[in-house]
Structure 1
Amino acid sequence: MSDRHQQDFPHRRHNHTATWWHDLLLVWGPATVLVALAVGLFIWLVDPAPPKVIVMSAGPQESSLLPAAEAYRQILARNGITLKVLTSDGSVQNLQRLLDPKQHVDLALVQGGITNGVDTSSLMSLGSVFYAPVVVFYRGKGIDRLSEFAGKRIAIGREGSGTRRLSLALLRANGIEPGDATTLLPFDGEQAAKLVVEGNADAAIFNGDSASRAMMLRLLRVPGVSVMDFSEAAAYTRLFPYLNEIDLPPGVLDLGRKIPPETVHLVSPTVEIVARSSLHPAVSDLVIEAAQQVHGTASLLQRAGEFPSPIAHEYRISEDAARYYRSGKSFFYRSMPFWLASLADRMLVVLLPALVLLVPALRTIPGLYRWRVRSRIYRWYGSLIAIERGALAKASGAERDALLKELDHIEESINRLKMPLAYADAFYVLREHVGFVRFRLTGERRPGFDRASG
């Protein structure tokens, strides 16, 4: 009705001719928006989509770290993930890149024994992937303890290298400190080997890539050069938890010449795949799967299936990696392409918060809708009560005519109401009560009342 009619009939509240779908919209609309926002926020915070590009810091051009990272890149590319491989000076720089928030590096290959007390709580390990043995070559025979090199010339690796850090830690455990009578030479690899061969160094500590099979064979063929047997290897593994005890069996380097002639005990850290804690779980699974293909075969120092291993030494093993080693990939990732499995996995995550929100909402919304529809009926009773009280006040004829006119407009508005069939009983009761009020005003039943009650 117009504003003029509302002013003419003060007992009339509003025009309640809204359709039933308007009630549904008012009840379901806010609930739907709230659930959608909550689910969207949950997905964004808890389970974002896997990144398409990740960055790995590997190692120098001549190291075994770089070929391993390149193999990962090719395997990840099959699943639509681009792995950018960065060369580096080695494990020390790899660790520094991971710890620096300004460096956009997601994961790296890091050798054990280089943390040097640095806080690595923001990092996690996806597992160990291969050994990086410590091999000591020296001039002479019969030495099986590092302490016997006190006062001599030892090549321990270049400044800032992982070899140097590890060598210094092992030498300190044997009472050899920088600055004392022992000369510590900053050389490794080919340079260190040359010093030993030429007699310009009494010993050289090789680690990881520098202790290659070719290097060891070449040095063992030099008269007067020997490889040190770590007879106290078990003690080293207790004192340095990141070390493992491994053996070189007789003839493993050269069966025909039986090199070495007897078992050589070595100690070795492992190289781990270390990642930032923000690495997506789906990407974590793919990286470990790639590591299984690259490092799972037998080699000079390991048995088939020994790596990758969930045993982490200096970094906490990630929950996703532990789950993968325990039970493998989830059902979706085993049976679907990566992109489709990722979508299905995220949809499953969506259902959990949606159900948590929708179940109570579904229980309350019918009651809200029922209240909304019935309120459109019940609010007319205020106007009817006011008109009835006017009739009981012994109003004059003119006043009664005005009340009847207002009642006619109320009845007209009620007759135009769009009401769901489930609430037809309340609707017809309202119309009957309109007829009852009309009877109180006129003292007789009018045709409108007969129609309402018939």
Structure 2
Amino acid sequence: MKPSTGRKRRPRLVARFVAISWRDLAVSFGPILLVVVAAIWVAVRLIQPAPPSTLTISAGPEGSTFWTAAQKYKTILARNRITLNVLPSEGSLQNLKRLSDPNSNVDVGFVQDGVAPGPVSDGLTSLGSVAYIPLAIFYHGPTVMRLSEFKGSRLAVGAEGSGTRELALALLKSNGIEPGGATKLLPLSGDEAAQALISGKVDAAFLAGDSAQPAVMGKLYRTPNVQFYDFTQADAYTRRFPYLTQLVMPMGAFDLGKNLPSAPIHILAPTAELVARDSLHPALSDLLIEAAREVHGKANIMQRAGEFPAPLAHDFPISDDAARYYKSGKGFLYRILPFWLASLADRLLVVVVPLIVLLIPALRLVPSLYAWRVKSRIYRWYGSLIAIERSALSEYSAAERTTLIERLDAIEDSVNGLKMPLAYADQFYVLREHIGFVRERLTHGREVQRDASAEPGEADEADEPGDGPTPLEAHEANEANHAAETGEARESGEAGAKAHESSDERPA
């Protein structure tokens, strides 16, 4: 009669085998997918929108140097399908007011350094200095060494709101001359100021920008009884006013044959900055600096070739995009692709890079996570099996034996109800084999045998008929046997193939 197994019912095999476990795959791939989606969302939030197709610049009076420069900017930007609207203005002060007003719709403008009446707006940055604005002072009478000597004279200091007037007032104030005193400060500028000087209506004229072009200065220099003021204290002025630069009008600049001027003349010059709102698109920042380089980069009597534009920070901080451009130039995509295509590719890269950096390594990790989840359903039962097996090796009562068998039945029922991918069916059956191994130990119990040849009084070692390898050892042994059988079969096949070849080569 067979020993009782302790089971009240036959086990039912209700395990389901599927090609792939979608639940495990989803749990393995889901967190990685969420991380990638989050990275893409952050990238999209940080990505710059497409650059606008229209810009507005506040330039200067119609026909002025900066108004003409803005018209050239317009032509250059049109090559890249960007429309530049040019607004005339009274000068740097109005340009600055428009830029500071969020409702003016002005994106960029030319602003002379030193004209800002107070702290500059936090929302404005500089794309770089684009030109010198030399200040030339012509006067009647004997040689003047210091500006303070003009006290009590009639001075043409530029029109209201012009950069020339702001600079002239700042320099005169540092010499003790202020509006409302004995010195008459007349709002004359340009040709009007030059004519007033020639006709004797004013004693000195402060000319800057278009009024201080080499041709105009040469004409006034040749005028009888008119002298060109030499800033002998230029070094001191550039230290007192950091936005000023000392320039030297070389000998013969007006006429090489007559050597006019006959000696170098020191003059002062602020720079004009291309100021923009800090919301300006980086791609448009690059285009504007390129246009400035094409328009302002040529050599003239006041500057060397390539001297402008330059990242000279005076009244306004250099924008990060401009600093990057001056350091390394245009981006790679903008150098090899048309502007509109490079702009599109640049924004797409922000989305593609997280996919490459995160998704590809993550996809290599998914198979390992998937295998670990599936195998964990098998391995999780071995701890309980080992605990039952250890209990079977010790002394136990009939009630304890029944309890152990019930625990084993519960494990077997749970295992028989697993849903497993077909690729892991072998491990499923190995686990069931190990469950049967433990059941056999519980069924047969422990049998003690003594060695008949042992000396009297010595305890023979207990030999258990049911003793055998543990479930894990049995699993490893099965795999080793399978590998050995496969190797033997392969060797037999190779030997047979060699014998067949030998028989074919034997002569008839």
Q: Taking structure 1 as the reference length, what is the TM-score of the superposition? A: 0.77
Pair 436,70 (structure 1): closer, same or farther in 2 beyond 3 Å: farther
Equivalent residue number for residue 101 of structure 2 = 100
Structure 1 letter corresponding to 2:75:
Q
Contact conserved, 1:285 with 1:324, CA < 8 A, in 2?
yes
Contact conserved, 2:17 with 2:421, CA < 8 A, in 1?
no
- 1:355 is displaced (CA, Å) by 6.0
Structure 2 letter corresponding to 1:190:
D
- 1:142 is displaced (CA, Å) by 1.1
Contact conserved, 1:110 with 1:273, CA < 8 A, in 2?
yes
- 1:182 is displaced (CA, Å) by 1.0
Structure 2 letter corresponding to 1:183:
K
Q: SS where residue 209 of structure 1 aligns?
A: helix
Contact conserved, 1:419 with 1:427, CA < 8 A, in 2?
no
Q: What whole-Å deviation, never above 9, does each CA across 1:268-310 have from its counterpart, x for those lacking one?
A: 0111112233333333222222222111111232122222222
Whole-Å Cα distance in 1 between the matches of residues 219 and 58 of structure 2? 31
Equivalent residue number for residue 274 of structure 1 = 275
Whole-Å Cα distance in 2 between the matches of residues 82 and 108 of structure 1? 15
Q: What whole-Å deviation, never above 9, does each CA across 1:37-95 have from its counterpart, x for those lacking one?
A: 42232243254444433332222212111221222222222233333332222211222
Equivalent residue number for residue 173 of structure 1 = 174
Equivalent residue number for residue 162 of structure 2 = 161
Whole-Å Cα distance in 1 between the matches of residues 43 and 413 of structure 2? 54
Pair 30,262 (structure 1): closer, same or farther in 2 beyond 3 Å: same
Contact conserved, 2:334 with 2:342, CA < 8 A, in 1?
yes
Equivalent residue number for residue 89 of structure 2 = 88
Within the alignment, does 1:235 sit opposite 2:236 as a pair?
Answer: yes
Structure 1 letter corresponding to 2:158:
G
Equivalent residue number for residue 32 of structure 2 = 31
Structure 1 letter corresponding to 2:316:
Y
Equivalent residue number for residue 67 of structure 1 = 68
Within the alignment, does 1:117 sit opposite 2:118 as a pair?
Answer: yes
Q: What whole-Å deviation, never above 9, does each CA across 1:116-167 have from its counterpart, x for those lacking one?
A: 3323444322221111111112222412321111011112122222222111
Whole-Å Cα distance in 2 between the matches of residues 425 and 365 of structure 1? 22
Pair 409,190 (structure 1): closer, same or farther in 2 beyond 3 Å: same
Whole-Å Cα distance in 2 between the matches of residues 300 and 359 of structure 1? 59
Whole-Å Cα distance in 2 between the matches of residues 96 and 123 of structure 1? 11
* 5+ long unaligned stretches in structure 2: 1-13, 383-398, 442-508
Equivalent residue number for residue 400 of structure 1 = none
Q: What whole-Å deviation, never above 9, does each CA across 1:219-259 have from its counterpart, x for those lacking one?
A: 33443332212222222111111111112223323445554
Whole-Å Cα distance in 2 between the matches of residues 242 and 408 of structure 1? 88
Matches within 5 A, 1:354-393: 354=355, 357-358=358-359, 365=366, 368-370=369-371, 372-374=373-375
Contact conserved, 1:135 with 1:266, CA < 8 A, in 2?
yes
- 1:176 is displaced (CA, Å) by 0.6
* Equivalences, count: 422
Whole-Å Cα distance in 2 between the matches of residues 23 and 109 of structure 1? 64
Pair 114,409 (structure 1): closer, same or farther in 2 beyond 3 Å: closer
Give percent identity, aligned residues only: 54
RMSD (CA atoms): 4.2
Contact conserved, 1:20 with 1:420, CA < 8 A, in 2?
no
Equivalent residue number for residue 206 of structure 2 = 205
Q: SS where residue 66 of structure 1 aligns?
A: helix
Equivalent residue number for residue 253 of structure 1 = 254
Structure 2 letter corresponding to 1:79:
N
Pair 132,41 (structure 1): closer, same or farther in 2 beyond 3 Å: same
Structure 2 letter corresponding to 1:235:
A
Equivalent residue number for residue 329 of structure 2 = 328
- 1:170 is displaced (CA, Å) by 0.6
* 5+ long unaligned stretches in structure 1: 1-12, 382-388, 395-402, 441-454
Equivalent residue number for residue 444 of structure 1 = none
Contact conserved, 2:60 with 2:88, CA < 8 A, in 1?
yes
Could you say which structure has the larger radius of gyration?
A: 2
Whole-Å Cα distance in 2 between the matches of residues 129 and 360 of structure 1? 48
Equivalent residue number for residue 41 of structure 1 = 42
Equivalent residue number for residue 421 of structure 2 = 419
- 1:96 is displaced (CA, Å) by 2.0
Q: SS where residue 269 of structure 1 aligns?
A: strand
Pair 150,375 (structure 1): closer, same or farther in 2 beyond 3 Å: same
